[in-house]
Amino acid sequence: MPLKAFTMPKWGIEMSEGMIGEWSVEEGKPFARGEVIALIETDKITNEVEAEADAKFVRIVAQQGETLPVGALLAVYGDDEPSAEVDAFIAAFRPADARMAASDTEDMIAEAAAETEVPPAAPQIDDSLAISPAARARAESGHLDVSSIAGSGRGGRIMLQDVEQALRPPADPQLKGPFDAQGEGNGFASPMARRLAARHGVDLKALKGTGPRGRICKDDVLSAAGAGAAAPSGEIEIVAMSPMRKAIARRLTEAKQTIPHFYLRRRVRADRLLSAREAAGRRGSVNDYLTRAVALALREVPEVNIQVRGTEIHRIPTADIAIAVATNKGLLTPVLRSAESLSVEQIREAVGDLAARARSSKLKQEEIEGGSFSLSNLGPYGVEQFDAIINPPQGAILAVGAARPEPIDDDGAIRIVPVLHLSLSCDHRAIDGADGARFLAALAKLIEHPERL
């Protein structure tokens, strides 16, 4: 078969790049139609790419873990062609859509600009100017403004050599020997390092700098003076962000910069809910009960069950709750649709399935998009209280900590019972404080009276 390109696919209009999560086939080994040949990770999900026909890769170009733009060459299909032909195919490859490769786009823009560039009009030379005919002709052909040239001819007449000199490009600088980084013998050091050296009596000339171009920095002086911390036993590990981690960073930065957050906090007794869970044989986690309570509270206070899109507020008719799930690649929030119509047992099964597929990177695109509200529970990790960042376009997120024993007023009697600390983060552009307070009040009633669940 002729050589064919396997390129980075495009899933969704927002996808601009992808990362090779894993190659499922080996170079030079045949694979069958329908067989998974690669796992490609986007900023949201990991997709399995299946072979469209029986074939084999004669060359795998992209390495596992490499991030490439949509349309980039990942591998080459073919038979046992000579290596030189495969090399030539790779060298001549260009993405079918120029928009998919920034470098190609830049090249095309540059070429188009070069083709359409109109040369500047030659400057007009005053007939009364003292300039030789040859110099005038050369200046006009070179589009040179001679008004600032000092002529070397008799009476300041501009000669041909004057024009040639003005048209000559500047010469490249010539290096005249090595640069003396140590200056005048005082050491090439930062101002802080100089002050510390004077304080501790350290001779800068005896130090070898670890900064840029051998510059002596603060740590070098402190180490020589015996005041620095011990050097680490190993090297710093630098890990590139995955597409998912970069998307999380981008979205959360945008959320904190553009969404006016305000926070409402409330303590809720959890002893009755925990007792109800025990009575039910622990068929369902505390988070499953909380999800059910949040769904019913959203139905009672629909002003919080919203999305904010530009200058519009979208009120969602169902409680589509995004459940925060920690994975080894970052935080994912699969959406539990119509949670208000599900029992605690059904929520347990649905959330368990979503969480398992989130951790194995098998969620579908539609399962992580949208949502009208988010729930983040760090109680299982021992966190007692925290504030969460809103996940746009949603209007609010509830942060739940671990239940801990605290004193409460129980009909005039002081009792010590497990208490949950709830923190509701709201988008003040669309949700007022009173609406958030009503939601927390409704949620507290449901948690403190679990028979309503």
Which residue, among 320, 315, 321, has the nearest Cα to 302 in the 3D structure?
315
Beta bridge partners of 307: 314, 394
Structure tokens at 242: 């995955």
Structure tokens at 113: 């600009």
**Distance, CA of 350 to CA of 362 (rounded, Å):** 15
For CA atoms 113, 114, 118, 119, give the dihedral sign.
Answer: positive
Got the DSSP string for 187-248? -SB-HHHHHHHHHHT--GGG----SGGG-B-HHHHHHHHT-SPPPPSSPPP--PPPHHHHHH
Q: Which residue has the tokens 């900590």?
A: 401
Catalytic residue status for 428 = yes
**Distance, CA of 72 to CA of 95 (rounded, Å):** 6
**Distance, CA of 80 to CA of 307 (rounded, Å):** 55
Relative to beta strand 67-69, strand 17-23 is: antiparallel
Active-site residue among 143, 314, 428, 449? 428
The set of catalytic residues is: 428
